[in-house]
Structure 1
């Protein structure tokens, strides 16, 4: 930062206690510029962006190969000041509360540039940070001056998509059965029938497991339960997998020649990330493993896919019903300027592969896994087919009354705790690359 520009920052206002945003929410904030003397600006902009990126390295003898890839969900830039108008149009300019353009020359002191974005109504992957990749949503401001290095600042915000609990595939119960004949040090047999009430669960919900266990062996056995996560990262036709046990619990021993019905409820930690199936380069899955601990023998086990949905939260920044993506001016007191110009049609240009293919994630098109999806991870390009409906072109009317009163003070990138921080994932088991047809699901 040069001596002329003392500081530049971007802050936003929290709308709930969790400091999260979801589809269609209005995100209001301010760009704050502090200059030591009169300054001529070529441009001052604010950009909202959502993207995913992965990167890891693999060693082959003395050779190290770096694998990386990126996926952009959306990006939109608006200008408070822009001297060069040869590119773009006037609708990209954010005006001051009186409806006039901001001046390109600013006097010494502190200057505040308010803004309001509306997040798109489409379901995008939630904020996520893993060992080899991340999904982040950011606000970034940039100040450009002649023959000077650009001054930049950014702040991350935590995005969680709306859950789709009515998806029939998520409400369907799951069944599994397994039996095993004992050999060598143990005689007889054991069998188990396992049932779960459904497939999809909220992050703060209990997972009920119903088990019918028959112990016809010569030794006591013990049921064990494990909920674990599986992170898959894709780049250049390669896949890297990290698995991690989230919780482990054991049941009471079942004596020999005994049949027993058991009900076990596992509490899902609310700090976990929701399942991610609609990102091309990052996939987050969860599985439930139930096994019988048989002494001196291999343990029979059953696995079920578990889809974790974001917790139900009520957002506090809702405006008029709108299926697209807009920005308006906002005064520094929290009230909105009603005469702000709408955004330009076709802002996003050529549509990309933003959405899943029809039916890929169930009837709702978001979270439900397709039949057989959990049995084979498939190639990297499987998870985002061209289901996006087209460029975003309609925006909320200029009479938008502004978001409701702020529930919390503005959050700064220098003052807030990282809003997208998730619990660290240590003790990962790192597997080398194995062709998909030989890797267990």
Structure 2
């Protein structure tokens, strides 16, 4: 093939490697050819979009939203068909610049049945049957101060405050009381949160607390919604023998790569909970769930994925 290489690259604007509303997105499109070629159109596009899709009872539910779309024409056939625009043989570099709109948009995210992506695409069209394409996604970070709550919810959210819950379970005439307290509701990526558990075991069985980090993804389309949950076991506490009580504290580490909580997308949201259960023999395990908001952590350099160019021929019909 005449086109030996086609790639699109962008310039970083900060140490995190992310872009936000109002930022200037600039870069270059590089094309290498073995000889002079004529093109009908050569352009680069910038796009931000969200999309959800899932199947339920043989029916597909889907929805999508476009946050922005820009095109920059690099070369275009003025006569609409005879391929009068020329690319010289060898390596050719074409710069581009876009300004991302200053509107509230969610961060990049990929979930079970939906994703939010921001990308650059370059397309070189030589004829109706010969099109070269390449794509590069860039990480996007919302500028919303509270992407994890609506205005009504913000009133009751105290991210630095403790949260407490009690659960009493009966086994015959005996009971087991579990009190759970988290040191705070809001935790940054890569940080840790302490969870205190008091167990008063008046039963005839030994009980053991277990600690989980619960993830809840919600997707909405066409007045329907679907929920995906994932519970990760973070640790096991000390066993509490029959007719005794014990108080213990477990420190749960939040993985740095875990996406932050967000609500500022109309088609999907991401929530977390801390769950503590009591492993009780021959009985349904009692559990307590407390809210957890995962916040954006400290900036870390973004590891840019290697670019890959894709060539294909579009056949007539």
| Band the TM-score falls in, shorter-chain normalisation | 0.7 to 0.9
Q: Tell me, what secondary structure is at the counterpart of 1:219? A: coil
Cα deviation 1:5-54 (Å, max 9, x = unaligned): 33322123456776544455544421012233333444322221111112
Long gaps (5+) in structure 1: 86-102, 317-407, 416-441
Preserved contact between residue 165 and residue 200 of structure 1 (Cα < 8 Å) = no
Give the whole-Å Cα distance in 1 for the aligned partners of 2:197 and 2:53.
41
Query: Are positions 1:178 and 2:187 aligned together?
Result: no
More strand by share: 2
Give the whole-Å Cα distance in 2 for the aligned partners of 1:45 and 1:30.
11
Offset of residue 271 of structure 1:
2.0
Q: Tell me, what secondary structure is at the counterpart of 1:292? A: strand
Query: Are positions 1:43 and 2:41 aligned together?
Result: yes
- Match runs of 1:386-401 below 5 Å: none
Q: Tell me, what secondary structure is at the counterpart of 2:112? A: coil
Structure-1 residue corresponding to 2:110: 129
Offset of residue 145 of structure 1:
4.3
Preserved contact between residue 199 and residue 306 of structure 1 (Cα < 8 Å) = yes
Offset of residue 275 of structure 1:
1.9
Residue of 146, 155, 160 corresponding to 2:141? 160
Offset of residue 412 of structure 1:
4.5
Structure-2 residue corresponding to 1:214: 200
Structure-1 residue corresponding to 2:233: 247
Cα deviation 1:81-122 (Å, max 9, x = unaligned): 34569xxxxxxxxxxxxxxxxx94332222101234444454
Structure-1 residue corresponding to 2:74: 80
Long gaps (5+) in structure 2: 148-153, 310-317
Preserved contact between residue 161 and residue 310 of structure 1 (Cα < 8 Å) = no
Give the whole-Å Cα distance in 2 for the aligned partners of 1:162 and 1:315.
18
Cα deviation 1:314-360 (Å, max 9, x = unaligned): 789xxxxxxxxxxxxxxxxxxxxxxxxxxxxxxxxxxxxxxxxxxxx
Query: Are positions 1:151 and 2:132 aligned together?
Result: yes
Q: Tell me, what secondary structure is at the counterpart of 1:53? A: strand
Offset of residue 310 of structure 1:
2.2
Q: Tell me, what secondary structure is at the counterpart of 2:290? A: strand
Structure-2 residue corresponding to 1:199: 185
Structure-2 residue corresponding to 1:8: 6
Give the whole-Å Cα distance in 2 for the aligned partners of 1:163 and 1:251.
38
Preserved contact between residue 45 and residue 79 of structure 1 (Cα < 8 Å) = yes
Offset of residue 245 of structure 1:
1.8
Preserved contact between residue 223 and residue 253 of structure 1 (Cα < 8 Å) = yes
Structure-2 residue corresponding to 1:299: 285
Preserved contact between residue 25 and residue 315 of structure 1 (Cα < 8 Å) = no
Structure 2 CA distance for partners of 1:23 and 1:263, relative to 1, 3 Å: farther
Offset of residue 297 of structure 1:
2.4
**With structure 2 as the length reference, what TM-score do the two structures score?**
0.81
Residue of 65, 83, 86 corresponding to 1:71? 65
Structure 2 CA distance for partners of 1:247 and 1:71, relative to 1, 3 Å: farther
Offset of residue 69 of structure 1:
1.4
Structure-2 residue corresponding to 1:354: none
Preserved contact between residue 160 and residue 310 of structure 1 (Cα < 8 Å) = no
**With structure 1 as the length reference, what TM-score do the two structures score?**
0.60
Q: Tell me, what secondary structure is at the counterpart of 1:218? A: coil
Give the aligned CA root-mean-square deviation in angstroms.
3.1
Preserved contact between residue 15 and residue 299 of structure 2 (Cα < 8 Å) = no
Q: Tell me, what secondary structure is at the counterpart of 2:138? A: strand
The number of residues matched between the two structures is: 297
